[in-house]
Amino acid sequence: MKISAARVIVTCPGRNFVTLKLETDQGVYGIGDATLNGRELAVVAYLQEHVCPLLIGRDPRRIEDLWQYLYRGAYWRRGPVTMRAIAAVDVALWDIKAKMAGMPLYDLLGGKSREGVLVYGHANGADLGSTVEAVGHYLEMGYKAVRAQSGIPGLDLAYGVGRGVLHYEPADAAMPTETRWDTRKYLDFIPSLFERLRETFGAEPALLHDVHHRLTPIEAARLGKSLEPFDLFWIEDATPAENQDAFRLIRQHTTTPLAVGEIFNTLWDAKELIANQLIDYIRMTVVGSGGITHLRRVADFAAIHGVRTGCHGATDLSPVTMGAALHFDSWVPNFGIQEYMRHSEETDAVFPHSYQFEDGYLHPGDTAGHGVDIDEELAARYPYKPAYLPVARLQDGTMWNW
Ligand code: CS2
Ligand code: MG
């Protein structure tokens, strides 16, 4: 069996997506997501110029060997561009293998470990009141877990507050939007948001919050401690995680669970955090971390250290990633939760899929493969449109973390 074609499809049904399609000499094809929000064309070039030519004629059944070939063979290892390109190949090959076997991908991985995949939605509002209302809307839709992000009094553009009701797209401009950040305003406000959410909705709903890399370790420790009475499911990206050791300080001060990892791309980014139980959930994804082949290793390493998965699932991860992730989530024994930021209707039309939301859970369906396809004709109607993520500066203009 041989790979006969490897094509990169760029489409922008409301936002940009990069998809790799691998075709074989036996007529079976597989697709993988390679989207890197705000840097899409870097991965397109890496795939088209340096990966696709190497794939033609190779045996698509040799998933592990191809992974090692693309990882070790590049010499220049790791990084978001390289690992997303490898992920796209890997997920497309797992899609092909499952289709050849005539089974849903989760069966190939070892079968289901649960009846459904618990997901959390993204409630946000310009102020405390509208955020509480948005959380109520998600609970009415049947979500059992909701992330809450709110505008911060005194700040113009807060992270996580979008224009839509159901989904939030941060890459909203042809050049990066400049936002201003003020940690004190944020730390003074957030506890009141979760106090109100608990007063309104009680102890039942799982509440999550994304700090989005904006605090120093001691500020993150203070936030975690101040939120303990409200029993959050997790706070995410509490502090930038290049220095994995920084999480020791947070751990010393608070029992609020910690999640990190959506911007990691190999196990090496998380090894100390997991081995020392400095986090509770690892957020790495099939698209960001070299595909199913590597993410399985991350999950197994996490499992022996009591850390659970909590895969990133924002709008900028395509339905292909969501589909593959749901098969992974269905199998992985140390599953925690799956993020589910809904895609727009145009996106769902370009990427027909078998996964369904029901009563707070997503179900991957039992189609052979990962259950997601791409309508190439429809995709061609949405040409690439440059879009950047915002940047953040402190009040004095110092560059900060968006
Ligand atoms: C966020 C993302 O969903 C999340 O947890 O961190 O929305 C993130 O901002 C985007 O994926 C960036 O493209
Ligand atoms: Mg996040």
Alpha-helical (H) ranges within 208-285 are: 217-227, 246-253, 271-275
One-letter identity of residue 1: M
At residue 124, the pLDDT reads: 94
Give me ligand 2 centre to Cα 145, in Å: 15
pLDDT digits (tens, 9 = 90+) for 244-297: 999 999 999 999 999 999 999 999 999 999 999 999 999 999 999 999 999 999
Residue 160 reports pLDDT greater than 90? no
One-letter identity of residue 90: D
> What's the start-to-end Cα distance of the chain, in Å?
46
Residue 388 reports pLDDT greater than 70? yes
Ligand 1 atom 13 nearest Cα: 37
Percentage of residues of the chain with pLDDT beyond 70: 99
The torsion angles phi and psi of 234, rounded to 5 degrees, stand at: -170, 160
At residue 163, the pLDDT reads: 66
User: Closest-lying ligand to the alpha carbon of 261?
Assistant: 2
- Answer whether 9's CB lies under 8 Å from 373's CB: no
pLDDT digits (tens, 9 = 90+) for 330-366: 999 999 999 999 999 999 999 999 999 999 999 999 9
At residue 276, the pLDDT reads: 98
Cα dihedral across residues 100, 366, 66, 17: positive or negative: positive
Element (H, E) at 384: none
Ligand 1 atom 2 nearest Cα: 314
> What gap in Å lies between CA 188 and CA 169, rounded to an integer?
26
User: Closest-lying ligand to the alpha carbon of 314?
Assistant: 1
Residue 168 reports pLDDT greater than 80? no
